[in-house]
């Protein structure tokens, strides 16, 4: 029996469980609440009794999760299809790799980005001018991670420096990022692992033209920097060696914000804030590596998510963040989880045991979702578990904050208990309840808490992949569309079907 098959069998034993009846079980209460690295996680609102939870832990024991985490942290090959390690934990703690050359390279890269972050703070950084606008050009992990973290920690940004992000090929995206900017005080960051990504290079060329138009060719070099795993290609693009910041192939795009690919964070927020972000992630790394299985927060969340997806067959999960600063959390998790767990084959190339992979992830700001999709969550025919993300902010007395958090608490209770319909509209007003949710609480939205939250989800995905038996570190599906787009742009339509040919004509691409 595979771990995933075992989870499905456990779910079968829970079919008649009534969630509301489980909430007075003190032993279950203790088992399904977790605290680590400044985060609190409540998993009590799940369709799972204590015996079921213990059975899930038993399945997890067979995966030897501690040994697999140790392999990840030691920089061993965990990405089998590409024969690479996954070095994102080492980006925030190079000591994990011991005396290995990769660890020394990461330390050297951090020293280089740190020196540049300090330089950005000087009034003569840009050929005698200060930095007032940073424009980060990237896509995928080179955009989503840094963009989300910057938005989340905007209250900590460097005074007088505005950081904006560009990923879309629509010219309006770059136009908006440069709106109101002075070329003399603008720093362009080009973030691309391969330095061949079409969207990134096209936008970088457009940004270069914008600088040249205003300052001439001599204005380009002081105002461009890059982070890449292919420094040679960055040099071919015309960037100065001192402004090229390397990171290794073993850092996947969706995990890369901890590396030089997070340059916009280190320079836009400042070195101290970035260090605090790293410290929070390291605290979660320490927890996942040392906490007993039954008290391990990332493992617990992974077990619940696998239980709901593979066990109960629920195809999606909603992430409802009750914070405007965390508006992009769902988008960030979409890439992290769906690019990692959206696979149809196992790590050996065979079919997945139960034809399950990770769920579709969606969501947004909780207070906004309440006035739109929560109708579907409460009364729709399909159940989607909800992750509530709360910020306690105990020190604040603003009535809006109190109302915001009251709404979060109320929605979790409503999903659990529902409502009995009354009167002539009883059938319409009745809400069944019994729908699963999990709640994360951060005391404040600090760099440390955010770093811990992101590292938790990285480790959660790693554990889920062990259950499904797949490789979470490759993304071959992403590459196919890119390859076909290049063929269309080159005029090579061999092998394309009629609708594709018609569309290229309609769009003026032929």
* CA–CA distance, 126 with 120 (Å, rounded to integer): 8
Contact 389, 322 (CB under 8 A): yes
DSSP letters, 221-249, are GGGEEEEES-HHHHHHTT--GGGEEE--T
Q: For the chain, percent helix, then strand, then coil, each to nearest 5? A: 55, 15, 35
CA 420 to chain centre: 38
Please tell me the number of Cα atoms within 13 Å of 142 on its side-chain side.
Answer: 27
DSSP 253: G
Find the radius of gyration of the CA atoms of the chain. Answer: 24
d(CA 157, CA 166) in angstroms, rounded, equals: 18
493: left (phi over 0), alpha (psi -120 to 50) or beta: alpha
* Contact status, residue 198 vs residue 486, Cβ threshold 8 Å: yes
Tokens of 334: 């979409």
Alpha-carbon distance of 215 to 129, in angstroms, equals 13
Token output for 172: 């309006």
Q: What is the 8-class DSSP label of residue 481? A: H
Euclidean distance between CA atoms 313 and 385, whole angstroms: 11
Q: 209: which residues sit within 8 A by CB, 6+ positions away?
A: none
Distance of alpha carbon 508 from the chain centroid: 36
Q: What is the 3-state secondary structure (H, E, C) of 109-157?
A: HHHHHHHHHHHHCCCCCECCECCCEEEEECCHHHCHHHHHHHHHCHHHC
Question: Is 161:133 a contact under the CB 8 Å cutoff?
Answer: yes
Is there a contact between 439 and 412 (Cβ–Cβ < 8 Å)? yes
Sequential DSSP letters for 313-344 = ---EEEEEES-GGGTTHHHHHIIIIIHHH--S
Q: How far apart are CA 82 and CA 250, in angstroms?
A: 9
Pairwise CA distance, residues 8 & 43, whole Å = 19
Catalytic annotation, residues: 339, 371, 482
Asked if residues 215 and 208 have their Cβ atoms less than 8 Å apart, the reply is no
């Amino acid at each position: 029996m595979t771990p995933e098959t075992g989870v499905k069998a456990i779910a079968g034993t829970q079919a008649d469980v009534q969630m509301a009846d489980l909430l007075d079980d003190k032993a279950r209460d203790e088992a399904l609440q977790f605290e680590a690295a400044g985060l609190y996680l409540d998993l009590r609102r799940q369709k799972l009794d204590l015996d079921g939870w213990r059975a899930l832990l038993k399945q997890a024991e067979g995966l030897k999760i501690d040994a697999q985490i140790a392999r990840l942290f030691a920089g061993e090959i965990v990405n089998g299809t590409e024969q690479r390690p996954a070095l994102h934990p080492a980006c925030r703690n190079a000591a994990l790799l011991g005396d290995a050359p990769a660890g020394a390279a990461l330390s050297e890269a951090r020293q280089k980005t740190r020196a540049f972050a300090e330089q950005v703070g000087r009034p003569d950084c840009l050929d005698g001018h200060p930095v007032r606008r940073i424009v980060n050009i990237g896509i995928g992990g080179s955009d989503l991670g840094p963009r989300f973290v910057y938005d989340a920690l905007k209250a900590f940004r460097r005074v007088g420096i505005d950081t904006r992000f560009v990923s879309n090929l629509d010219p309006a995206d770059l136009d908006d990022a440069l709106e109101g900017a002075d070329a003399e005080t603008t720093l362009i960051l080009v973030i691309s692992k391969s330095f061949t990504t079409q969207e990134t290079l096209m936008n970088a060329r457009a940004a270069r033209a914008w600088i040249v138009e205003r300052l001439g060719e001599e204005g380009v070099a002081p105002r461009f920097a890059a982070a890449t795993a292919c420094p040679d290609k960055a040099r071919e693009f015309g960037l100065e060696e001192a402004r090229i910041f390397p990171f290794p192939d073993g850092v996947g795009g969706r995990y890369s914000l901890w590396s030089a690919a997070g340059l916009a964070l280190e320079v836009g927020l400042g070195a101290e804030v970035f260090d605090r972000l790293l410290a929070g992630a390291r605290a979660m790394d320490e927890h996942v590596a040392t906490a007993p299985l039954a008290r391990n927060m990332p493992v617990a969340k992974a077990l619940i998510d696998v239980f709901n997806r593979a066990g109960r067959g629920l195809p999606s999960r909603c992430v409802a963040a009750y914070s405007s600063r965390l508006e992009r959390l769902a988008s960030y998790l979409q890439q992290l989880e769906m690019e990692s767990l959206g696979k149809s084959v196992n790590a050996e190339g065979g079919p997945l045991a139960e034809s399950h992979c990770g769920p579709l992830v969606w969501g947004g700001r909780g207070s906004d979702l309440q006035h739109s999709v929560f109708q579907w969550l409460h009364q729709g025919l399909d159940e989607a578990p909800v992750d509530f993300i709360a910020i306690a902010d105990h020190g604040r007395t603003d009535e809006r904050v109190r109302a915001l958090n009251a709404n979060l608490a109320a929605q979790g209770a409503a999903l659990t208990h529902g409502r009995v319909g009354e009167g002539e509209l009883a059938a319409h007003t009745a809400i069944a309840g019994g729908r699963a949710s999990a709640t994360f609480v951060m005391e404040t939205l600090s760099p440390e808490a955010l770093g811990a939250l992101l590292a938790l989800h990285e480790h959660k995905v790693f554990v889920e992949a062990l259950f499904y038996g797949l490789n979470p570190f490759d993304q071959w599906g992403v590459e196919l569309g890119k390859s076909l787009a290049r063929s269309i742009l080159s005029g090579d339509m061999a092998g394309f079907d009629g609708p594709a040919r018609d569309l290229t004509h309609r769009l003026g691409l032929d």
